[in-house]
Amino acid sequence: MIVVAAKGSAYARGRAQESAAPAEVVRHATIRRVEQARAEGLIDAEATAYLAAQRRFHATYDPDGMAELLGIAEAFGLAEPDLFAHLHLGTLRDMKGGAALIDGCSAWAVGQGPEGPLVVKNRDVSGALRGVQCVLRHEGPGIETGQVLSLSSLGSLAAWSSGVNAAGLALADTQVAVNRHRTGWLRYFLMPRLLARAATVAQALRLIRSLPHAGGGTLVMADRGGATAAVELSASGPVIATGGTQWRTNHFTAPEVAGETLGLDAARPDDSIGGNSRARFACLSGALPGRDWSASAAKALMATHPGAGGAPICQHPDGDESETISCAIYSCRLGGMEISDGTPCLGRWQAMEPCR
């Protein structure tokens, strides 16, 4: 597993990725995907105008995120506007109505148990990201919560997938393709800011409610005190559920926004990824409630495969669909993380030193 320790300003933290992998490897996982999108006509005049509006929003409300992105671009000799576009590719595909839900993650949070609150996520993405997956340990100006330990990819911002801070707040996201977007927080910028500024779920939710969202995706979170929440990031406004055990896969579940999910409506009844998301959600719905969860029990659940009473929580390559490249288990009590090297069913786990 690639591990990058980064101190200093947001820009310096971005530059710290420089020695972690060859620039061409990072280009293949990021800029090349943008070039392909341009060739497909995805980044047209409408998309360019939307990206410009998004840039103005994040420059205003998240200068640290923009500075970190610039540092990353300069670390690998890549064009920063292309990296910014790369973070928005899922959104741009949604806007064209051609969303393909290739990446399908499963995430959950519990507020109590023998080891305290936990946040757990299987990271399911295309194979191109396997070679750039990394653990980032950030500290410095703008981070008000001590160190932040996160799972990300080289060429992307911290906490692109999940993370925890020294105060004990942990969070993880899942992708949701949706039919409605607006100018606002892209969750790939939002997640590092939440970990940098919020020590508790309550503080994180205040920040989430304070500004509009681009739309798409969910968050699950827990804090050291045992508070939990799940957030469905609709462009019409976040839909928030709090308390108890929370879990999400790759569709919105709240009645007021469920119809925004692409690929799950009656017009596309044969959508295999939609069925996969529902099957994983149903599996977690049956397994999670009413039980005290330890890290070892979480590892067994996240290694679940299809079968009697099971679902593809642990996903293996099947054509162009996503595969599980890791599983992260965050301890809010410790401010620490365990991560699997590959699918959790392989049993290759590494414990990271807790945040300070």
Report how far apart, in Å, the C-alpha atoms of 298 and of each of 144, 246, 350 are.
30, 14, 15
Q: What is the distance between the terminal CA atoms of the chain, rounded to a whole angstrom?
A: 21
**DSSP alpha helices (H): ranges in the chain?**
10-15, 23-29, 31-39, 45-61, 63-76, 80-87, 89-95, 187-197, 201-210, 272-287, 295-302
What's the pTM value of the predicted model, to 2 decimals? 0.95
Check residue 214 and give its pLDDT.
Answer: 98
Per-residue pLDDT of the chain (356 residues; tens, 9 = 90+): 999 999 999 999 999 999 999 999 999 999 999 999 999 999 999 999 999 999 999 999 999 999 999 999 999 999 999 999 999 999 999 998 765 556 679 999 999 999 999 999 999 987 667 789 999 999 999 999 999 999 999 999 999 999 999 999 999 999 999 999 999 999 999 999 999 999 999 999 999 999 999 999 999 999 999 999 999 999 999 999 999 999 999 999 999 999 999 865 434 444 445 568 999 999 999 999 999 999 999 999 999 998 877 788 999 866 556 789 999 999 999 999 999 989 999 999 999 999 99
Architecture of domain 106-352: 4-Layer Sandwich (3.60)
* Contact present, 163 and 191 (Cβ < 8 Å): yes
Check residue 267 and give its pLDDT.
Answer: 40
- Sign of the four-CA dihedral 66, 72, 77, 79: negative
- If we measure between CA atoms, which residue out of 159, 160, 179, 154 comes closest to residue 169? 159
Check residue 310 and give its pLDDT.
Answer: 78
* Contact present, 280 and 218 (Cβ < 8 Å): no
Report how far apart, in Å, the C-alpha atoms of 4 and of each of 13, 155, 162 are.
9, 12, 15
Listed in sequence order, the residues at least 6 apart from 207 whose beta carbon sits closer than 8 Å to its beta carbon are: 193, 194, 197, 198
Listed in sequence order, the residues at least 6 apart from 314 whose beta carbon sits closer than 8 Å to its beta carbon are: 122, 302, 303, 304, 305, 324, 327, 343, 344, 345
Check residue 240 and give its pLDDT.
Answer: 98
Phi, psi of 121, rounded to the nearest 5 degrees: -150, 130
Check residue 37 and give its pLDDT.
Answer: 94
Core vs surface per residue 154-193: b (16+ CB within 10 A) or e: bbbbbbbbbbbbbbbbbbbbbbbbbbbbebbbbbbbbbbb
- Sign of the four-CA dihedral 29, 32, 38, 43: positive
Check residue 98 and give its pLDDT.
Answer: 61
Check residue 265 and give its pLDDT.
Answer: 46
